[in-house]
């Protein structure tokens, strides 16, 4: 390249890469507002009054108790039918130990055991759910301690019917089980 007489060369034009860097990390960088939509989040419109009302209803203690009761009933019924189906003592007659039970006897036992387990699971589910909701409302926090405390109260109340020692064991066992389930789910 030839130089101009008596003068210096003009500086070469900056590379496009260096201009890009000045806008990304340099002095010409403009800070962006923290907008969830700009960061890739899904924008959500404001909630209507009906949506807020449904949300409040679903977070109420009564709804949680009913949901736990229905879920416990279904789970207990399925568990009872399953255990009755694999039980080898259905229709057992000590006078005739080689007698095979009839289908009617097996189905009757499955129905009885299914209903019995369903009621028990529904009661335990409703007790635990109500207790947890009351403990959470009292403490004003939603953490693992609520399920442990409510597990202890529920297990202790169920076990206390058989005596103080059974109540203490029920409290500890149900609290430990609640802690394990809460740890696994959270």
List per-block mean pLDDT (blocks of 10 residues) for the chain, which spans 186 residues.
Answer: 62 72 74 61 80 91 93 95 83 76 85 94 95 91 91 94 94 94 86
What backbone phi and psi angles, to 5 degrees, belong to 162? -95, 0
Which three-class secondary structure state does DSSP give residue 140? coil
Write down how long the chain is: 186
Residue 177 CB coordination number (10 Å): 14
| Distances 36 to 31, 39, 94 between C-alpha atoms, Å | 15, 5, 72
Q: What does the DSSP 8-state code read for residue 68?
A: H
pLDDT, residue 111, reads 92
Q: Give the pLDDT of residue 84.
A: 86
């Amino acid at each position: 390249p030839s130089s101009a007489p008596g003068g210096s060369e003009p500086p070469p034009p900056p590379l496009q890469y260096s201009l890009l860097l000045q806008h990304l990390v340099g002095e010409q960088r403009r800070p962006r507002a923290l907008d969830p939509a700009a960061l890739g989040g899904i924008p959500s419109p404001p909630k209507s009054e009906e949506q807020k009302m449904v949300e409040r209803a679903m977070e109420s203690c009564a709804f949680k108790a009913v949901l736990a009761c229905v879920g416990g009933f279904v789970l207990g019924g399925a568990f009872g039918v399953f255990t009755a189906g694999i039980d080898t003592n259905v229709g057992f007659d000590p006078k005739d130990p080689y007698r095979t039970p009839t289908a009617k006897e097996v189905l009757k036992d499955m129905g009885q055991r299914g209903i019995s387990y369903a009621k028990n699971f529904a009661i335990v589910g409703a007790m635990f759910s109500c207790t947890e909701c009351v403990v959470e409302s009292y403490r004003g926090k939603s953490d693992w301690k609520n399920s442990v405390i409510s597990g202890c109260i529920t297990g202790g109340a169920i076990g206390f019917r058989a005596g103080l020692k059974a109540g203490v064991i029920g409290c500890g066992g149900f609290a430990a089980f609640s802690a394990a389930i809460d740890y696994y789910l959270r």
